[in-house]
Chains A and B, each alone.
Chain A
Amino acid sequence: MNFMNNIIEDIKSRFNPENTEIVKKNQIAIDFKNEEVHSALAYLKSQGWKQLTILTCVDWIKENKFQLVYILMNWDNSITIQVRTKIDRDNPKFRTVINIYPGAEMYERDVHEFFGVEFEGNPNHEKELFLELWDDLPPMRKDFDPLAYSKKKFDVREYKVDFIPKEGEAE
């Protein structure tokens, strides 16, 4: 715990994080402003967080924001850091991090496909990865309803016999 506080102090002395939090043993979450994310990631990489575990996105539809989450793993002192930032939901754009973490390329394509966030500077971010000929909202957004889409596209089997006992009927 003490060690994690040192890391947080170090981050606070160099950047202006909006919020820091100790999530659990060996895990820290830090919220950055948009413009500080890249320098913070570069700094953390030089400090031993050499691997980007995952880049993912959370749709906070009530606040009208997307939250990008970069999870970094330091294998030597086993501390995981969540680097989080919130971007605007209406015109989601963010600068790519592939020059810092080259492994982010596919994750960025993933987030673009499922949330519609554009990553400027990633040459392939618009290519589809998992879906093919997709014709609706990006599917992981909160306002997309998969059940309605499924019903529209794929008809379901209707069972003629009702196996659920009706009221008054003995089970």
Chain B
Amino acid sequence: MALNENEKINEIDVNELDCRDTLTFWEKFGNIFRSKSIWMLHYCTGCGAMELPPTMTSRFDMERIGMAPMATPRQADVLLITGYLSVKTLRRIIYTYEQMQNPKYVVGFGSCTLNGGVYYDSYAVISRLDYYLPVDLYIAGCMPRPEAVMSGFKKLMDMIKKGEALGWKRYQKYYDWYKKNQVRALGEVYVKDEFHE
């Protein structure tokens, strides 16, 4: 079933340099320190989370590069989308993302966030994450090995240091575009109270 032209999502240029021109000296200065200590949100949204415990604990130990899990969204810097994202989770992810403080970064984890992976024809799983949230970095693989995860995190740190991880600014700038896509996939971006009792 092909879509009409006006039903399609118009792409935005994700590499646009526009967002970058506010970079001041102090922001550069802050980015260096920001990149050295990153708290990632401890939320397993999908099966890729299975490779996070080895990454966090003694074998690969990501704390040595300056990352640690954090329980609450308000104190976290990185939101990991670990694998496929079902519609029901996406609603909660958007809530979580909007709760996080700026600057915040999103890492897409595994093939399912890129193009749907094996769930390309599933009725409950979104196919492409960067339509709904600004993704700074993708780690491919199903599921990515801990080494790949570590290398991805290292890359994210470099990006933060150079001021390239600007997803959060993009989210502010193109908020309407993201909201429109979210509404299209979810119907309403609203977590209702399931049990009125």
Dominant secondary structure of chain B at its interface with chain A: loop
A32-40, A50-58, A147-155, A163-171: which one contacts chain B? A147-155
Q: B174 interface residue, CB < 8 Å from A?
A: no
Q: Which listed residue, B3, B91, B127, B181, touches A157 by the CB 8 Å rule?
A: B127
Residue B64 CB within 8 A of the other chain: no
- Could you say which of A13-21, A86-94, A132-140 contacts chain B? A132-140
A148 contacts B126, C-beta separation under 8 Å = no
A135 to chain B, nearest CB (A): 7
B128 near A156 with CB under 8 A, answer yes
Q: Does B9 contact A (CB under 8 A)?
A: yes
The range of chain B's interface size is 20 to 34
A50-76 interface bits toward B, Cβ cutoff 8 Å, 1 = contact, 0 = none: 000000000000000000000000000
CA distance A141 to B25 in the complex (A): 60
**B51 CB to nearest A CB, Å:** 23
Of A147, A149, A153, the most chain B CB neighbours within 10 A belong to A153
Chain B, 174-197, CB within 8 A of any chain A CB: 181, 184-188
Q: Per-residue CB proximity of B107-140 to A under 8 Å, as 1/0?
A: 0000000111000111111111001000000000
A contact face: mostly helix, strand, loop, or mixed: loop
Chain A CB within 8 A of B87 CB: yes
A23 interface hit (Cβ, 8 Å): no
| B120 near A156: Cβ-Cβ < 8 Å | yes
Chain A residues, Cβ within 8 Å of B124: 131, 139
Which 10 A-B residue pairings sit nearest by Cβ, starting from the closest?
A147-B121, A146-B123, A154-B127, A157-B115, A155-B9, A149-B123, A148-B1, A154-B126, A132-B88, A156-B127
Taking beta carbons and an 8 Å cutoff, which residues of B are in contact with A? 1, 3, 8-9, 87-88, 91, 114-116, 120-128, 131, 181, 184-188
